Chain A
């Protein structure tokens, strides 16, 4: 039995590969600011730390456990925000949230989001938006606790 096209989009290879490889997955010791977020409906959690150089994000590290969507999202976030300023990261975050909550009516654009457009399929699955958002909410919370925030 072949999965539906929505399902195939949701769980495309890029998502499964990122979920498996997990760019940025590792110890967050020494990474400040940090945030720990939990999805209370499933108990999934993430600890995400940011290393800042001035107002620029040098590197993101995270660890935790969760579904393929949440793990892939954390992995894609890591590559995407590295090197961007806090303000740029906040803009990405706002757009990402808007698209995820759009119930399939908006899409991430490839020029800005690169491989993370693979997460476009999530917005059709209302119950999974929180999974995709987990790492992003952790990033938002961490940046809110940045020294100059």
Chain B
């Protein structure tokens, strides 16, 4: 349980040293030093990641799992070493760790594999059809909603959802009614990308287990902020994007329990995922290669491995402690500003979204940007949640391992000034 995580924060000196690892933090924006509070959208990159990728491209770049020349062999080894490093970082085995483009691609991979299973004799064990139910929640990112809507449409299964309360917290009282004997898949985010609060993972997993449903965990906001272990969480699938984890863009991870991955048909097909091919048919490789058709983004994989090594060097318990402290500082500071409604209560990571009464999120964001403070404005790809909360858009600030208390205070002062500036409209 997250509340049992030791709160070992980073010292000011630690954070100062970390900041020196991120070249972009020296940039000036609109005449001010950049205050980057949009890491939940995409994280900035430390030198270690940039160097690893560049070094690989300069010296060892080659296509992997094909070819017999020296570079190809070295690149393949590095590619698989990276898989082992990332797998280890999340408590998985390498052969349970599939490279995808990002978390969206990973969820689509699961959803399309399940619909392919639904029309396959060979992979029929995972088939879905009319009468089956897929459950997600009212506070998901669109990436963890629309693939399930589409899967339901393709297979005739029914999509249901666990609702949230007025604060955006999942209504656990409804869990047993929504997740039942017909439920085949339960998909939810570990940490909401809007509220920054944690889902009660163990309760949700226990219910899914009781009814024999598969658990798909959207771990995009959790993996960069918390110690993360797929075995401890006991989920069937977990997905996240590398670029939110201080890694390169274009690389993401699908974790799947080995026996499930083995039972799943491929989604994308083509080169590198086959054994024998005739003009009529093909035999597929076992996972993870079965799900990695086409030339792989090797330097991005290498960069992502460098990112997890970088975070390990800091220690995820300390990263979590730091994030929690910043999250609390932002949430409590915002709550003191007249007209601000902080979205979500309870244990949160270094992420908070809020509404300033009578002022549109875009206007607040523009005011902050004028001071070099980068935040996210809009619905954060979670329209149903915003609609449920009576909002069209909100402002989201998300901290990173390099964020300082001082930056949070500058952000809070700017929000207070924005409230005053836009007073005449309210």
How far apart are B413's CB and chain A's nearest CB, in angstroms?
8
Contact A66 B360 (CB under 8 A): yes
A69 to B426, CA, bound (A): 14
Known: A7-B370, A10-B366, A65-B392. A42 touches B361 (CB 8 A): yes
Q: Is A20 positioned at the interface, with any CB of B under 8 Å from its CB?
A: yes
User: Which of B361, B362, B417, B424 is close to A69, meaning CB atoms less than 8 Å apart?
Assistant: B362
Docked-complex contact A68 and B377, CB < 8 angstroms = no
Chain B proximity of A114: nearest CB distance (Å): 21
A128 interface residue per 8 A CB criterion: yes
Inter-subunit contact B393/A20 (CB<8 Å): no
B141 part of interface (Cβ distance < 8 Å):
no
* Nearest CB in chain A: distance from B196 CB, A: 20
B421 neighbours in A (Cβ, 8 Å): 3, 11
Our count of residue pairs bridging A and B at CB distance below 8 angstroms stands at: 67
CB of A43 within 8 A of CB of B392, answer yes
| CB of A61 to closest CB in B, whole Å | 20
Q: Is the CB of B379 within 8 A of A43?
A: yes
Docked Cα-Cα span, A45 to B370, in Å, equals 25
Q: Which of A1, A13, A68, A71 contacts B371 (CB 8 A)?
A: A1
How many chain B residues touch A (Cβ–Cβ < 8 Å)?
A: 24
As a 0/1 sequence over residues 383 to 426 of chain B, the CB contacts with chain A under 8 angstroms (1 = contact) are 10010000011000000000000000000000001000110111
The answer to whether the Cβ of A113 comes within 8 Å of any Cβ in the partner chain is no
Query: In the complex, what residues of B have CB within 8 A of residue A131's CB?
Result: 362
A112 beta carbon closer than 8 Å to chain B: no
A129 at the B interface (CB under 8 A): no
Interface residues of B in 9-57 (CB under 8 A from A): 30-31
Given contacts A3-B370, A68-B422, A68-B425, contact A44 B392 (CB under 8 A): yes
A1 lies within 8 A of B378 (CB): no
| Binary contact track A1-22/B, C-beta < 8 Å → 1, others 0 | 1011011001101001101100
Shortest CB distance A64–B (Å): 10
Chain A minimum-CB-distance residue to B362: A67
Instruction: State the CA gap A17–B423 with chains docked (Å).
Output: 11
A67 touches B424 (CB 8 A): no
How distant is B161 from chain A, measured CB to nearest CB, in Å?
19
Q: How far is the CA of A69 from the CA of B425 in the complex (A)?
A: 12
A31, CB-defined interface residue at 8 Å: no
Shortest beta-carbon distance, A10 to chain B, in Å? 7
Q: Counting CB contacts under 8 A, is B367 at the interface?
A: yes
Please pick, from B362, B367, B392, B426, the residue contacting A3 in the complex, using a CB distance under 8 A.
B367
Q: Which of A106-147 contact B (CB under 8 A)?
A: 125, 128, 131
Flag if B31 contacts A4 (CB, 8 Å): yes
**Residue in chain B with minimal CB distance to A8:** B370
Say yes or no: is B363 at the interface (Cβ < 8 Å to chain A). yes
Q: A1-B417, A11-B421, A16-B424 are in contact. Are A128 and B393 (CB under 8 A)?
A: no
Per-residue contact bits, chain A 31-75, to B (CB 8 Å; 1 contact, 0 not): 000000000011111000000000000000000011111010000
User: Whole-angstrom distance between the alpha carbons of A66 and B425 in the complex?
Assistant: 12
A43: B residues at CB distance < 8 A: 378-379, 383, 386, 392-393
A44 partner residues in chain B, CB cutoff 8 A:
360, 362, 392-393
Q: Which residue of B lies closest to A64 (CB)?
A: B392
Contacts A3-B370, A17-B424, A42-B392: A68 and B30 contacting too (C-beta < 8 A)? Answer: no
| Contact B422–A16 (Cβ < 8 Å) | yes
| Contact status of A16 and B425, CB under 8 A, knowing A43-B378, A67-B360 | yes
Q: Which of chain B's residues 353-385 have a Cβ closer than 8 Å to chain A?
A: 359-363, 366-367, 370-371, 377-379, 383
Other A-B pairs beyond A65-B392, A67-B360, A67-B361, 7, CB < 8 Å: A4-B370, A7-B367, A11-B367, A20-B424, A43-B379, A67-B363, A131-B362
Q: List chain B positions with a Cβ less than 8 A from chain A.
A: 30-31, 359-363, 366-367, 370-371, 377-379, 383, 386, 392-393, 417, 421-422, 424-426
A–B complex contacts, Cβ < 8 Å, 21 sampled: A1-B371, A3-B421, A4-B31, A6-B370, A11-B366, A11-B367, A20-B425, A42-B378, A42-B379, A43-B383, A43-B393, A44-B362, A44-B392, A65-B392, A67-B360, A67-B361, A67-B363, A68-B359, A69-B363, A128-B366, A131-B362
Residues of chain A having any CB pair with chain B under 8 Å: 1, 3-4, 6-7, 10-11, 13, 16-17, 19-20, 41-45, 65-69, 71, 125, 128, 131
